[in-house]
Structure 1
Amino acid sequence: MPQNQWQKSSYSSSGDNCVEVRRADELIELRESDEGHLILRTNPAALAALLDGLKAGEFDHHA
């Protein structure tokens, strides 16, 4: 992933309603495209653990 370049999923529409991600030094940053000033920063290991949990259905009971 290129440094400082926001990327969004190819599944997202062309509108401003998607999650974007970028690498910033040793961290990963996430934001919603329609709220670009709000940025969540985490490390790659924590993001990988979250994605693994989502894929495994660990959070389905919150839906």
Structure 2
Amino acid sequence: MASSEWQKSSYSGATDNCVEVRTVDGLVEVRESDDADIVVRTTASNFARLLQTAKAGEFDHHAN
């Protein structure tokens, strides 16, 4: 099984509460560091679309 190490965002700083991402067998896995047992798995193309959507601000109304 080809996999990478969990990577957290550089915006997380030293805090333990962050989103982490890694690849496993061609899929992308995402988890929250404070609840590491729950992992969301998706394709690389779906993950790229999620990032594009987030960068475009389409989820900003959920942050308030």
TM-score, reference length from structure 1: 0.83
**Structure 1: gaps (5+ residues):** none
Structure 2 CA distance for aligned equivalents of residues 61 and 15 of structure 1: 24
User: Is 1:4 aligned with 2:7?
Assistant: no
Identity, in percent, stands at 56
1:18 shift after superposition: 0.1
- Match in the other structure for 1:35: 35
Structure 1 CA distance for aligned equivalents of residues 59 and 14 of structure 2: 28
Aligned length: 62
SS at 1:39 equivalent? strand
SS at 2:10 equivalent? coil
Structure 2 CA distance for aligned equivalents of residues 61 and 13 of structure 1: 24
